[in-house]
């Protein structure tokens, strides 16, 4: 028994090592004084300095963040209202049909989404660039928002809404005072997922970006095709730190919300028992 | 009634414009030649050309290898993690690498696998001598499997997590050995997770064109690479769309074979 335990631990350690080594390797060489990823000649910040002096790269980072923030915001709005609408549909078959259509972009390979959007934009005569990238990112983020928000709406009891109406709330009041607060965690999760989808996307953006406009993923791809450039390593270290902060922040936020809920429930219980 | 329409207008507009229209357009485009004439020639060429058929077969074959490898590594991993004390934390550590941009991970392997890279250093150190690793089929399969493993672990872990432990106890009480319990109880009950993982890995593996370009050199051509080539390099959108339709068909076949759970094991629950 004891020997088996060791063997299984060894296996897990190996899997985790393989998962993390390439990432740590990238980060390690970002501090290399030399110019390659095979010989560490000494510690240096020089690649970070080059990165911060690279105005082209900085404007690409800004573009990427603007696209992510905007597309996630608009996708969250459309997706949340879409989910609210879907929930009101009484016909089971219609609801299932819409949900299948919703999931088309979730399961389609990126290349198909990219290629079909490229045909679509060309067909409509939309110029490739910021606009087409933003529209595409909104489009592929909407289904994930719907999938995050819909379960929260389904969880919420209809009685609450009926009670709000009975107490004289208008439709708008019922929506903003009862429904939206109840589904806020879902909306947050949806926004967060949409945001990371947008930051991470390469294939779709690559198809619809045209010539003048570029996002981080596309830029990394074109630099990687030219070979090793330790400025990319420096960039990846920063991106790793940012994703750690994002994930950590997101988990802290959901924990905080949950504990707040528990506190509230406890307080309510105490009040009732008194 | 009225408010329902107001809620759904932008959403329905999205379905019409960004779900139905693009898919219809890719089908429409597949019937046009490079000069803009309506024709079935793309399909005829595809079905009669040994180059395209071989490429499709190769692409499916590679995707199958990647999926099976990912499954072979992921199932034990998910199983072992499920038995750890802080399993949610360990799962988070599995998911974390999926938050790193896919291109950066691929880029790391360009360094690792290069002629003087660390892997070759290691091989020389153990006395195996250096090899050409980058731009081979094996390196492509390795990197693609590396990228896809978390997407396989996640659904399998979830199905193991949902598994009622009393079923395993019951099986033991009824005299089953560890192996029998595993084969007759655990594996069948986690099949939905395996199927979901299969879907989540196989379909993207057919279309990973950036990894074939960066790691496989131009030796490995998958359906995705061919589509990218036709759309962005040779500008033959008709043929590109035809291959796209083939890829969509392949996707439907896979989804049909692995049906019963529809959610893709995404990054986070």
> Which residue among B8, B111, B112 sits closest to A85, beta carbon to beta carbon?
B8
For B69-84, what is each residue's pLDDT tens digit?
Answer: 999 999 999 999 999 8
- Contacts with A221 from chain B: Cβ below 8 Å: 103, 210, 214
Query: What pLDDT score does B8 carry?
Result: 83
Residue A19 counted as domain residue: no
- Residue position matching structure tokens 């089953």: B176
Measured between beta carbons, the chain A residues lying within 8 angstroms of B237 are: 119
Is ipTM over 0.90? Answer: no
Per-block mean pLDDT, blocks of 10 residues, chain A (274 long): 69 94 92 83 90 92 95 96 88 90 90 96 94 96 94 87 89 88 91 92 94 91 88 91 86 79 76 70
Nearest to A206 by CA among B52, B249, B23, B224: B224
- Domain annotation covers residue A101: yes
Asked whether residue A80 is domain-assigned, the answer is yes
pLDDT at A7: 84
What is d(CA B164, CA A130) in angstroms, rounded to the nearest whole number?
50
What's the confidence (pLDDT) of residue B269? Answer: 36
A229-245 CB burial, b ≥16 within 10 A, e <16? bbbbbbbbbbbbeebee
Domain that holds residue A88: 56-237
Least confident of A265-274, B103-112, B114-123: A265-274
Q: Helix (H, G, I), strand (E, B), or coil: what is residue B32? A: strand
Contact B101 A199 (CB under 8 A): yes
φ, ψ (nearest 5 deg) of residue A43: -80, 140
Residue A250 falls inside a structural domain: no
pLDDT of residue A67: 96
Q: Which domains does chain B have, with CATH numbers?
A: 49-257 (1.10.3720.10)
Query: Could you say which of B109, B121, B237 has the minimum Cβ distance to residue A119?
Result: B237
Does A260 fall in a domain?
A: no
B265 Cβ under 8 Å from any chain A Cβ: no
Residue range B191-214: average pLDDT?
Answer: 91
Nearest chain B alpha carbon to A239: B100
What value does the mean pLDDT of chain B take? 88
CB contact under 8 A, A243 and B99: yes
pLDDT of B4 > 80? The answer is no
Under an 8 A CB cutoff, do A19 and B237 touch? no
Give the closest residue to A232 by CA, choosing from A61, A18, A21, A41: A61
- Whether B34 contacts B235, CB under 8 Å: yes
**Alpha-carbon span B225 to B138, nearest angstrom:** 17
How many domains in chain A? 1
More confident residue, B239 or B124: B239
Q: Would you tell me how many other CB atoms lie within 10 Å of the CB of residue A224?
A: 22
Q: Which residue has the higher pLDDT, A108 or B3?
A: A108
What are B39-48's contacts with CB under 8 Å, separation 24+? Answer: B39/B238, B42/B238, B42/B239, B42/B241, B42/B242, B43/B242, B45/B239, B46/B239, B46/B242, B46/B243, B46/B246
The DSSP output letter for B202 is: H
Tell me what the mean pLDDT of segment B119-141 comes to.
84
pLDDT tens per residue, range B11-64: 999 999 999 999 999 999 999 988 888 889 999 999 998 999 999 999 999 999
CA dihedral A201, A202, A207, A211 (to 10 degrees): 110
Give the CATH number, domain containing residue A227: 1.10.3720.10
Q: Would the CB atoms of B14 and A82 count as touching at under 8 Å? A: yes
Q: Which residues pair with B38 in a beta bridge?
A: B32
């Amino acid at each position: 028994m004891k020997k088996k335990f060791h063997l299984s631990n060894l296996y897990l350690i190996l899997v985790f090592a393989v998962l993390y080594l390439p990432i740590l390797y990238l980060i390690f060489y970002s501090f290399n004084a030399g110019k390659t990823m095979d010989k560490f000649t000494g510690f240096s910040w020089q690649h970070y300095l080059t990165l911060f002096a690279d105005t082209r790269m900085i404007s690409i980072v800004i573009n990427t963040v603007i696209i992510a923030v905007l597309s996630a915001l608009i996708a969250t709005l459309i997706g949340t209202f879409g989910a609210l609408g879907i929930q009101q549909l009484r016909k089971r078959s219609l609801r299932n049909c819409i949900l299948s259509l919703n999931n088309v972009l979730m399961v389609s390979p990126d290349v198909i989404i990219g290629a079909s959007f490229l045909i679509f934009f060309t067909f409509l005569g939309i110029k490739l660039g910021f606009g087409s990238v933003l529209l595409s990112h909104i489009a592929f983020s909407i289904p994930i928002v719907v999938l995050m928000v819909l379960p929260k709406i389904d969880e919420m009891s209809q009685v609450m809404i009926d009670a709000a109406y009975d107490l004289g709330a208008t439709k708008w009041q019922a929506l903003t005072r009862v429904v939206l607060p109840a589904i806020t965690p879902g909306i947050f999760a949806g926004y967060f997922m949409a945001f990371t989808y947008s930051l991470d996307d390469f294939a779709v953006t690559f198809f619809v970006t045209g010539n003048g406009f570029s996002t981080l993923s596309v830029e990394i791809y074109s630099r990687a095709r030219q070979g090793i450039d330790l400025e990319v390593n420096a960039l990846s270290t920063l991106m790793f730190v940012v994703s750690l902060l994002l994930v950590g922040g997101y988990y802290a936020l959901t924990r905080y919300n949950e504990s707040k809920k528990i506190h509230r429930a406890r307080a309510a219980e105490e009040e009732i028992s008194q | 009634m009225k408010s329902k329409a107001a809620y759904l207008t932008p959403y329905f507009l999205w379905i019409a414009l960004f779900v139905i229209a693009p898919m219809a357009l890719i089908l429409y485009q597949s019937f046009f030649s490079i000069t803009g004439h309506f024709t079935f020639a793309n399909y005829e060429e595809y079905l009669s050309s040994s180059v395209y058929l071989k490429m499709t077969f190769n692409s499916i074959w590679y995707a199958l290898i990647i999926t099976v490898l990912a499954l072979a590594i992921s199932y034990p991993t998910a199983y072992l993690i499920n038995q750890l004390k802080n399993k949610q934390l360990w799962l988070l550590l599995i998911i974390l690498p999926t938050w790193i941009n896919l291109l950066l991970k691929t880029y790391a392997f360009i360094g690792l696998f290069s002629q003087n890279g660390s892997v070759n250093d290691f091989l020389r150190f153990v006395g195996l001598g250096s090899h050409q690793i980058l731009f081979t089929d094996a390196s492509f399969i390795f990197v693609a499997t590396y990228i896809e493993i978390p997407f396989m672990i996640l659904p399998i872990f979830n199905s193991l997590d949902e598994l009622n432990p009393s079923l395993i106890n019951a099986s033991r009480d009824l005299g089953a050995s560890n192996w029998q319990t595993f084969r007759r109880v655990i594996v069948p009950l986690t099949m939905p997770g395996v199927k979901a993982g299969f879907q989540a890995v196989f379909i993207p593996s057919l279309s990973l064109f950036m990894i074939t370009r960066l790691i496989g050199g131009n030796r490995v051509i998958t359906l995705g690479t061919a589509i990218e080539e036709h759309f962005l390099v040779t500008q033959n959108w008709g043929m590109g769309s035809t291959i796209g339709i083939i890829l969509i068909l392949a996707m439907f076949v896979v989804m049909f074979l692995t049906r019963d759970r529809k959610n893709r094991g995404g990054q986070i629950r």
